[in-house]
């Protein structure tokens, strides 16, 4: 079983739609959680951290359910510029506690 | 300010050759990381430096892979006797010290082993 699992998609949605991505992680001791965005042939960039209380940044809302080991990302009013791969990322707090463990990513295409 | 830079951007080599990939972190970032990303996968951790020392090299796949950071800034990832399975994008990231500081990624080096 992979440490971080995501639905690979692709998700093709019209502009203005709401889309949700889900992710599960296997290490119950994990403490830090993130969503990264990666454009085609570019480097990953931090989209937002994910907190137990849930957090929102504009059109983006992230939720964490520790009991279910489940992370979600909701994008409202999607824009063409949201087209990218969204990577679920966990710090499993093993080894140096610095290594990030990435899911395989969920590909989103927002259509005009 | 300048971000993380990596050279070369692309490297094509033949099976069995030796390659070096370079990373220039953001100025002032003491932590440096190497990841490897294969097609259709997320980045996979290789090694982490705090200053000049490798604090965690648990992700290096075998002893053909080695990385150095002799002056605590620029790092070089070295791959000996390259194999076709080493083909991937090698990403470098840097961050400030501290366990939860954001890791900033460079554009990567796309390595192709023929």
Tell me the per-residue pLDDT of A17-76, one tens digit each, with 9 for 90 and over. 999 999 999 988 888 899 999 999 999 999 999 988 889 999 999 999 999 999 999 999
Rounded to a whole number, what is the distance in Å from the CA of A112 to chain B's nearest CA? 25
- Which of these ranges, A98-112, B12-26, B74-88, has the smallest mean pLDDT? A98-112
Q: Identify the three-state secondary structure at position B100.
A: coil
Are the CB atoms for B93 and B33 separated by under 8 Å? yes
Tell me the per-residue pLDDT of B65-111, one tens digit each, with 9 for 90 and over. 999 999 999 999 999 999 999 999 999 999 988 777 889 999 999 99
Q: Is A42 close to B45, i.e. CB distance below 8 A?
A: no
Q: Is B45 close to A97, i.e. CB distance below 8 A?
A: no
User: For a pLDDT cut of 70, what percent of chain A falls above it?
Assistant: 96
Asked if residue A96 has pLDDT above 70, the reply is no
> How far is residue A28's CA from residue A68's CA, in Å, rounded to a whole number?
9
Q: Is A43 close to B40, i.e. CB distance below 8 A?
A: no
Q: Is A46 close to B48, i.e. CB distance below 8 A?
A: no
- Nearest neighbour of B107 by CB, restricted to A42, A98, A104: A42
Mean pLDDT across the stretch B16-45? 96
Mean pLDDT across the stretch B36-43? 95
> How far is residue A52's CA from residue A50's CA, in Å, rounded to a whole number?
7
At residue A97 the predicted structure's pLDDT band, cuts being 50, 70 and 90, is low
Query: Which residue is closest to A39 within chain B, CA to CA?
Result: B107
Rounded to a whole number, what is the distance in Å from the CA of A42 to chain B's nearest CA? 6
> How far is residue B112's CA from residue B114's CA, in Å, rounded to a whole number?
6
């Amino acid at each position: 079983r992979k440490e971080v699992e995501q639905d690979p998609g692709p998700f093709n949605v019209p502009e203005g739609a709401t889309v949700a991505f889900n992710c599960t992680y296997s290490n119950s001791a994990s403490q830090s959680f993130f969503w990264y965005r990666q454009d085609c042939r570019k480097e990953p960039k931090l989209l937002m951290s994910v907190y137990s209380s849930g957090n929102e940044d504009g059109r983006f809302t992230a939720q964490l359910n520790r009991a279910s080991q489940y992370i979600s990302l909701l994008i409202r009013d999607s824009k063409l510029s949201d087209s990218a791969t969204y990577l679920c990322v966990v710090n499993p707090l093993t080894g140096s506690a610095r290594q990030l463990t990435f899911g395989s990513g969920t590909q989103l295409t927002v259509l005009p | 300010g300048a971000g993380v830079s990596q050279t070369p951007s692309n490297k094509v080599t033949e099976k069995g050759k030796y390659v070096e990939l370079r990373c220039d972190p953001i100025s002032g970032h003491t932590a440096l990381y190497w990841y490897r990303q294969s097609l259709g996968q997320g980045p996979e951790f290789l090694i982490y430096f705090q200053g000049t020392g490798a604090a965690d090299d648990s992700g290096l796949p075998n002893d053909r892979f080695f990385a150095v950071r002799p002056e605590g800034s620029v790092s070089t990832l070295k791959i000996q006797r390259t194999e076709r399975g080493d083909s991937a994008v090698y990403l470098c990231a840097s961050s400030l010290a501290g366990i939860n500081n954001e890791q900033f990624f460079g554009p990567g080096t796309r390595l192709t082993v023929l």
